[in-house]
Structure 1
Amino acid sequence: MNPKTNTPIAMTIAGSDSGGGAGIQADLKTFAALGVYGCSAIASLTAQNTRGVQGVLPIAPAFVQAQIQSVLSDIQVGAIKTGMLATADIISAVAESLADNSIPLVLDPVMVATSGDRLLAEDAINNLITKLIPRASVLTPNLLEAAALLNTRVASSIVEMEQQAKHLLAMGAQAVLMKGGHASGEDATDLLMTNAGVELFRAKRIDTKNTHGTGCTLASAIAAGLAKNLTLRDAVAQAKDYLHNALLHSNELNIGQGSGPVHHFYKFY
């Protein structure tokens, strides 16, 4: 029998996607594909497929807390990723549950689905800014989410991305990764800002309609890297490469009639 070794473990606190392409399902697939054991706390249920979100049912905040406390009281989690939290009360409950530990937190401020459906209530944005962003090891907004958090227009250049990242960093996160997937151009460029400076991560843009769950996948891939004790810079680089390849192979899948998922397990089938 092989001796026990430390198992890298990551936890996702997010919404369930009944179509399987985003949310908790995408997070757990990503963890598994990158060699990390995944556990979860479900913050909301959705009736969702590749064509859109037909319904959202938030989980009672006390039960979200119960799930988080159950996992953390028993399992040695190395990194946590949050996704769709839906309501102000759920955000408060998550922030309270994580206040007394120093586990690295990847905060994906899921506000709008790829389909355009709104996934975060208006009154929840203030709680996100005041209670959870200051706890984040890295905040991972796309361009639309960054603009919504700052109540400004969407960045249209690297210079504007850097300016907005600086304002987001001032909200208290240790780092900000501005995701450039919604921008135009041949490359999809993400911008990582920390107090030490700025680094750009570029990958060729992939021509595919299968982009459902890209934000969830990138954030959970970063959490997987942190759970394996990678530096933030190396975790972001690994995540960017993983998502690029998952997009590159996404057309090998035939899932649904709308925006299909990326191929999380492209290495295996």
Structure 2
Amino acid sequence: MHRRKFLSAIGLTAAVAQFGCAPKVSRTGGGRRRLRSAGIQLYSLRDDARRDLEGTLADIAAIGYKDVELLGSMDNFGMPPARLREVLDRNGLRAPSTHVSGGALDNLQKQLDDAQTLGHQYIVVASLPIEGQRTLDDYRRWADRLNEAGQRARSRGVWIGFHNHANDLAVIDGLVPYDVLVERTDPAAVRHQLDTGNTAMAGRDPRDYLRRYGARYWLFHIKDVPRLGAASDTELGNGFIDFRALLASIENIDEKLLFVEQETYPGVPVDSLRRDYEYITKLEF
């Protein structure tokens, strides 16, 4: 093996060991692919977690989820990082990503320290704290902030990410502000998280965004909606999004992080998240 390839292999092995990003895809008998595991965004079980975070994480592991995207934006329900890491480890769970508020970048050092404790590869800004009427300049300023934070985070081996909401895709002065932000952020400092449901809630097909910015997306929220432009979500497979086509269009899917997210439920939340897991891990694409 050439030295460069050898060092690359060492780096990949180290990344897998630290962040748990082992290949998530297996081949079926018919030559198609299938996810061997999936992650979950903890917001999906926020009420359960608020009552009993340890029990909720145990429920998540029992379903089969391996990765959890935590909620730094909700202070992880008051559990200190070291204690939370113990609970995750005990349940065989990894936390390669967390959501934080935009204001958390004001104390980036703490976020990076917590990321080291919890094993985060990504610190994702969940939404932009823009008050009043939004402007394109707001998104330009936030792109610059993300770039600056991302450059600092890379020195610690962590990525800054950005997660879209439906309102980020509402046209301002003839332009989509989300597009302005994505194109202004530096791919060497910032990676993006495509929320399939939020994109569809904005009346846009998430596959169109994959075609446009596929190389920028390293994380995904796998969320379904009853119809294009709907104001709420539904269980995976019951709605508008063609997940077979969507998963097939994600480049280098083994390297990406996919988190199931459902915010509204027809019954018991954990039952919906169990059905979501079964659907997405049995789907051939």
Normalising TM by the smaller chain, what interval? 0.3 to 0.5
In terms of fraction of residues, the more strand-rich structure is 1
**TM-score, normalised relative to structure 2:** 0.41
**TM-score, normalised relative to structure 1:** 0.42
